[in-house]
Amino acid sequence: MDLMPGGMKALNLKKTLLTYSSFISAVRPMYESVMTLAATDEKEPVCIMTIMASTWGKTREICTRNQAILKSAIEGWGVCGTTTTFGDPRRAWVNTILAASGGSGPVPLYPPLSHAISLFPLNRAGSVWRGKGNLMLHTEDGSAFEVGLASSQQNKHTELAPGDPGLGKSVLINTLSEIQISSAQKNLPFIAYIDKGYSAQGLVQLIRDSLPQERKDEAVGIILSNDPDYTRNLFDVMYGAKKPITPEKNFMSSVLCALCVDTGTGQPCNPGDTRQIINQLIELAFKEYGENNPRLYRASTEELVDSALQDSGLYEKHDAAWWARSTWFEVRDMLHNAGYIMAAQRAHYQAMPQLPEVSSMLGHTSLRDVFGTVQRDGSNELLLDYIRRALEQGHNDYPMISGYTRFMINPETRVI
């Protein structure tokens, strides 16, 4: 990179020619640019600058790769074009050597002095935290780089850590989480792991062991399995509601359609019809169990609910006949108003439809009237029968989504 004085002196001839041809529309932008530089030169010198870069490699392939990286880096400065074509490549190479050539190989640039200096490699990128960071990383060339996680100077921080096994990805991610936790004030930050292995389990256990007994539930590590003990009902809706909101309904529809996928095509059979049937099926299920025929409360079904009703005195407020016809929704609302939120949540779970009950509603008149004669593509099997068979198979294969919710995370949990 060469920087020389006398930018406007070198442009005098061009300025004169452009003055007489400025009426030409194609030339007018060039004329305005030169006149802007002339006005700038009265306050700040306009310089001549040339930039030439070179790279090398042990083999032709390495050199070509390095050349592409260098070209991309230079063009990344902004509105900047580069060329790798020269009439005399030896001259181009000599021009990159200090004091080896009196001529200039590349195209001259005419920036103001301040603009030219800002392009010079006189400094390097530095940390914006300036001694207030909480983690020390390093750049690609090994220089220390201070980082402040969960800082007010950032709206979001994303860290991608790809690599082969054994390179330290898990160590880095656990370090980032540990730094955030150690920098917290009164409460732990919200951290969620989805880990194929056991890398996060050690950190979660370390946090849990460091907490007092009354705060142990703030950090929980769970190894999920397709087991009834970890059942999470697919048809659970927002606490306090009787039917799903749009995102919940879309999720249910997507899962049920996935259960109906034809393994030969990777798509549900009759995709359009299947999605219509599934959407109507979800609406029918929540109308049946939420409005027309809500599930009745039965004692001994949920021990936590029974205990809360006894402890709160709610059970004595009504006679046996009332309890015989009371619904889980009514029990939920009573417990919520009394402040027994955990028990109310359990009652809410009991009121929701389940996968076997939803699949049994495929025989509903409203579905049979519209889709009763529709057959699978390329088969004589009725589409409703196929969907019923697919959902029943899903019930058998995935017990963790086809029963009442048993797996519930403590609302106080912050690291999981």
Q: Residues 194-198: what's their mean pLDDT?
A: 82
Over 80: is that where the pLDDT of 89 sits? no
The amino acid occupying position 300 is: S
| pLDDT tens per residue across span 238-254 | 999 999 999 999 999 99
Banded pLDDT at 176 (limits 50, 70, 90): confident
pLDDT (0 to 100) of residue 77: 66
Q: Are 147 and 137 in contact (CB under 8 A)?
A: yes
Over 90: is that where the pLDDT of 83 sits? no
Over 90: is that where the pLDDT of 223 sits? no
pLDDT (0 to 100) of residue 255: 94
Helices (H), 88-186: 89-94, 113-119, 169-182
| pLDDT tens per residue across span 329-364 | 999 999 999 999 999 999 999 999 999 999 999 989
Buried b / exposed e over 250-275, threshold 16 CB at 10 Å, is eebbebbbebbebeeeeebbbeebbb
Q: Are 109 and 79 in contact (CB under 8 A)?
A: no
Both structure tokens of 221: 């590590």
352 against 378, higher pLDDT = 352
Q: 262 φ, ψ to 5°?
A: -80, 120
Q: Which of 20-24, 37-41, 404-408 has the lowest mean pLDDT?
A: 20-24
Distance (Å, whole) CA 416 – CA 412: 11
182 against 245, higher pLDDT = 245
Both structure tokens of 298: 């039965």
Residues in the chain: 416
pLDDT (0 to 100) of residue 90: 73
Distance (Å, whole) CA 227 – CA 59: 57
Q: Are 382 and 374 in contact (CB under 8 A)?
A: yes
Q: Residues 267-292: what's their mean pLDDT?
A: 92
Distance (Å, whole) CA 155 – CA 235: 34
Question: How many CB atoms neighbour CB 37 within 10 A?
Answer: 17
Distance (Å, whole) CA 286 – CA 353: 7
Q: What percent of the chain has pLDDT over 70?
A: 94
Banded pLDDT at 19 (limits 50, 70, 90): confident
Banded pLDDT at 408 (limits 50, 70, 90): confident
Banded pLDDT at 4 (limits 50, 70, 90): confident
Q: What percent of the chain has pLDDT over 90?
A: 38
**DSSP state string for 142-168:** S-EEEE-TT-TT-S---------TTSS
Q: Are 394 and 234 in contact (CB under 8 A)?
A: no
Instruction: To the nearest 10°, report the CA torsion of 198, 199, 204, 210.
Output: 120
User: Mutual orientation of helices 383-397 and 246-259 as an angle, nearest 10°?
Assistant: 100
Banded pLDDT at 325 (limits 50, 70, 90): very high
| pTM: predicted TM-score of the whole model, two decimal places | 0.63
pLDDT (0 to 100) of residue 188: 87
Question: How many CB atoms neighbour CB 130 within 10 A?
Answer: 9
